């Protein structure tokens, strides 16, 4: 037998011994592995919505009436425009337009409490009384944005002003 054949046979025998010594997974481990593979959900990616500024509103014709949500500690620019026909978020410099859920609760100025899109959905709720201030309304609110798998990716309390935008 040549040296190369002998080395190949010894390598195969060693590989067989190593394979035999590996522990077989328990039923529970096997089931968990299959469920994990079937789950197919990517890891949760938190988002940081950016302020929607006047140039965004003008350029994208977002004028109208509705509510603007400004997160506590987030400056003065709204991160959400909630209007009668759309909800608008700005994520990574891109505007995300979401459709209103007409089955959700109505908020002032024709806005809705829930909006949905391909990548995200959001819920805006009042955490305090809705107060009239002249022709506008104001309330403390909470914004929760979820991903396509309904997992929270953004959650903030803030100030909501409802008026002509």
| Average pLDDT value for residue range 76-102 | 97
What's the domain range around 140? 54-164
pLDDT of residue 59: 96
Residue 31 lies in a domain: yes
User: Looking at residues 133-140, what average pLDDT do you find?
Assistant: 96
The answer to whether residue 96 sits within a structural domain is yes
3-state secondary structure of 26: coil
**104 in a domain, yes or no?**
yes
Over 60: is that where the pLDDT of 6 sits?
Answer: no
Q: Is residue 9 part of a domain?
A: yes
Please check the confidence at residue 10 and state whether its pLDDT lies above 70: no
Q: What is the dihedral of CA 40, 46, 51, 55, to 10 degrees?
A: -30
Number of structural domains found in the chain: 2
Q: Three-state DSSP class for 35?
A: helix
- The rounded mean pLDDT for the chain is 88
Please report whether residue 12 resides in a domain. Answer: yes
Does residue 10 fall inside a structural domain?
Answer: yes
On whether both 82 and 138 belong to a single domain, the answer is: yes
pLDDT at 40 over 80: no
Indicate the pLDDT class of residue 56, thresholds 50, 70 and 90. very high
Given this model, what pLDDT does residue 38 score?
Answer: 67
Tell me what pLDDT residue 4 has: 42
In a domain, 47, yes or no: no
Whether residues 97 and 155 share a domain: the answer is: yes
**Residue 28 pLDDT:** 86
């Amino acid at each position: 037998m040549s040296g190369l054949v002998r080395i190949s046979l010894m390598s195969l025998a060693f590989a067989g011994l190593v394979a035999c010594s590996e522990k077989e997974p328990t039923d529970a481990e096997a089931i968990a592995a299959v469920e994990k593979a079937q789950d197919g959900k990517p890891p949760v990616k938190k988002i940081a919505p950016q302020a929607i500024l006047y140039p965004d509103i003008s350029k994208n014709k977002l004028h109208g009436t509705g509510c603007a949500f400004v997160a506590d500690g987030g400056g003065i620019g709204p991160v959400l425009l909630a209007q009668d026909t759309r909800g608008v978020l700005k994520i990574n410099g891109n505007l995300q337009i979401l459709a209103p859920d007409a089955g959700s609760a109505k908020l002032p100025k024709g806005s809705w409490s829930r909006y949905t899109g391909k990548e995200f959905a959001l819920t805006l709720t009042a955490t305090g009384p809705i107060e009239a201030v002249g022709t506008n309304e104001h309330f403390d609110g909470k914004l929760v944005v979820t991903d396509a798998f309904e997992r929270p990716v953004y959650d903030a309390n803030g100030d909501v002003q409802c008026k002509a935008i």
